[in-house]
Amino acid sequence: MLIILSPTNRGWAMHRYILWFGANSPTCIMVWANNLEAALDKAVDYLADYAPGLLVDEAVQEMYKHAIKAGKSEEEAQAIAEIDTIQAGNNGHYLNAWGWGILTKDPPRATVKAIVDDCSGSRLGA
């Protein structure tokens, strides 16, 4: 499935990214933004609302609590908890570092069409 976010931004956003999330059956999100960080933030905010199972916020919190109980300082516990994750989105959600990627940047229409044809459908996002 290709989820389309911020299509009205295409008039002023410099780039169009297609990002994938999830290892086994990836969710693909096409988003218009001026840079990768902004695109990732928009996509992660969408995931937080509609596919929270792709986020690892709870696992990071559990690892942090475990490290504190083991006698680590707050900084050490945070570093341990955030290993192999990235933080993104406006609320600081966590993703596994290996659980997302850039499928393409500024793809031509034919590439987007091929991606949509390969997916089970498309859905217009927020």
b/e map of 98-121 (b: 16 or more CB within 10 Å)? Answer: ebbeebbeebeeeebeebbeeeee
CA distance linking residue 26 with residue 41, whole number of Å: 18
- Residues 16, 43: contact at Cβ < 8 Å? no
pLDDT tens for the chain, residues 1 to 126: 789 998 888 889 999 999 999 977 788 999 999 999 999 999 999 999 999 999 999 999 999 999 999 999 999 999 999 999 999 999 999 999 999 999 999 999 999 988 887 765 444 444
